[in-house]
Each structure stands twice: as C-alpha cells, then as structure tokens.
Amino acid sequence: MDIPYTIEARPDTGLYNAKVGIWLFLASEVMLFGALFSTYILLRVGAPEGYWPHGWLNIPVGTVNTIVLITSSITTVMAWASCKMNQFGRFKFFHACTLCLALTFVGIKSYEYHDKFIHYEITLKDGTIADGHLVKRTADAVVIKGHYVKDRKELFDLRAANAPHEHTELTIPKAQIAKMENYGPWHSTYLAIYFTLTGLHALHVIGGAIVIGFLWGPGSKLWRTDPERFTNRIEISGLFWHFVDLVWIFLFPVLYLL
C-alpha cells in the first residue's frame, strides 16, 4: 500500500503530509529552545553585577562557524532548487557542500569544547587563583599557560580594559593546590547553559547531517523512480536545516558577544 499524500496535496490542508509534519515538529522545537533561552535569561539577570562571564568564548571562531552555517543554508536551498530544475548533478554537488559544511561546523565546535576542557581554574592554598590552559601534568606539579589573579572577579569580564592578557607558563606544585577545576559544564551556570544550548544545537546539526548524508548517498536512488517525492524529501530536510541555522543566529550573539 502506498503512503498517501507524499506528492499530491491533501485537499483539507493544501499541502503534502510531510510538510505539515515538519512544521509541527519545528513548532515543538521552537518551544524547546525557547525554554532554554528563557532559562538563560533568568540565570543571566539573576547573576550579581560583574559576575556574568563576558568574553569567555573565541569571537573569530564563533564568527567563522556562523558563516559556515549560513553558507550551508544557501547550499541546502540551492540543492532543492536544483532538484526542481531537474539538475541532479548540481543537486549532488550542493548537498555534498552542505554535508562538508555541517562536518566543518561540528569540527570547529569540538575544537571549542576541547579548549574549554583543557582550560583550568586552580585555587591555591594561599587564596591566589591560577587560570590557564593545561600544558602538562607531572607527578608533583601542574604546568599551565596562563596567569595569576588575586580576586576571582577578575576572571569574569575578559573583554574589559583591565582584563589580564599576558599568559606565561606557570609551574604549580601539587602540594600548593587547594582546588583544580576545568571549564566544563560543572564550572559555572554560564558554562552549564552554554554546553546545554550549544550541545543540543550540535546534536541537531549531527542529526541533520545524517539525514542529508543519507539523501545524498543511498537515499538518492529514489530520484530515478520518483523524482517529485525525492524533491519533497529534500525540501523537508532543508526546512529542518534552516531551522538549525536560525537557532544559531540567536545563539551566536547571546553566548559569544553579549
């Protein structure tokens, strides 16, 4: 038995079923990310003045990732337009570009996560704080590339004029360390919401990339037997991909710039 309304429009909605389905799904996604944005707002507004991190993320890297995702959006829509124009070769090219851009995005995001996981805040027994990236760990000392601060508050606004910028290699004997913690999600509420929002978004990118990869590879066989239905599949996966781009358009300024 054939699945109804995969190509022709349903008389009551005026659309093929998958299109109504994806928009309903995207509506639920808006509420999911909306709830997390709401959480971000409450956490940020509730933070005491000067204690909400600013400048902790690498802006050029985030900008490049934004451009990567925007470019993947245009290649997705071009892939769909190519199908509509019966140009299967062009479709293959544009969808391959989308796939490469999706993997580039995930690669850059992984680099950013790695940077946070090797970044340590080390509280010494005399109250001084050493902050920097781990270089090596020996049996009796930890070597980081960073700087010392007297007050933890100095670490919050790294875009401030008086923020410490000079980083040198510091060897800290383990006997002097009272607490050592990396910049993972457990470090602060800012990093908790950063990893939650970007992690959930990255899962969407990976999920979308799997679907796009399938439609580019084995799934593209459908083009030979039912090109119209295949084109609709490309439109549906494209709508999801544009939504992923749309979420990042808000995540980038909120997490990286403000």
Partner 1 sequence: MSEQSAEHFSEHIRRYLYVFYALLFGTVITVAASYIPFGNREINIAVALFIAICKASLVACYFMHLISERKMIYFIMAFTAFFFTGLMFLTLWSFGDLPRHTSH
**By the rule CB under 8 A, 90 interacts with partner 1:** no
Alpha-helical segments (H) within the chain:
17-46, 59-84, 88-117, 189-216, 222-225, 227-252
As a whole number of angstroms, the distance between CA 191 and CA 176 comes to 26
As a whole number of angstroms, the distance between CA 93 and CA 89 comes to 6
As a whole number of angstroms, the distance between CA 37 and CA 246 comes to 14
**By the rule CB under 8 A, 23 interacts with partner 1:** yes
Give all strands of the β-sheet with 177-182 in edge-to-edge order.
168-173, 141-149, 129-137, 119-124, 177-182
**By the rule CB under 8 A, 160 interacts with partner 1:** no
Judged by beta carbon, residue 20 or residue 135, the one nearer partner 1 is 20
Query: How many chain residues bind partner 1 (CB under 8 A)?
Result: 57
**By the rule CB under 8 A, 110 interacts with partner 1:** no
**By the rule CB under 8 A, 84 interacts with partner 1:** yes
Binding to partner 1 by CB under 8 A, coded x per residue (else -) over 114-133, reads --------------------
CA–CA distance from 158 to each of 25, 70, 75, 244 (Å)?
39, 28, 36, 29
With CB under 8 A as the contact rule, the residue among 59, 118, 178, 210 that binds partner 1 is 59
* Among the residue ranges 129-137, 176-184, 186-194, 212-220, the one whose residues contact partner 1 (CB under 8 A): 186-194
* Among the residue ranges 73-81, 95-103, 113-121, 166-174, the one whose residues contact partner 1 (CB under 8 A): 73-81
CA–CA distance from 240 to each of 10, 202, 243 (Å)?
21, 13, 5
With CB under 8 A as the contact rule, the residue among 4, 8, 67, 114 that binds partner 1 is 67
**By the rule CB under 8 A, 32 interacts with partner 1:** no
**By the rule CB under 8 A, 89 interacts with partner 1:** no
* Residue 209 identity: A
**By the rule CB under 8 A, 51 interacts with partner 1:** yes
Task: Give contact residues for partner 1 (rule: CB under 8 A).
Answer: 13-15, 19-20, 23-24, 26-27, 30-31, 34-35, 38, 41-48, 51-53, 59, 63, 66-67, 70-71, 73-74, 76-78, 81, 84-86, 156, 188-190, 238-239, 242-243, 245-246, 249-250, 252-254, 257-258
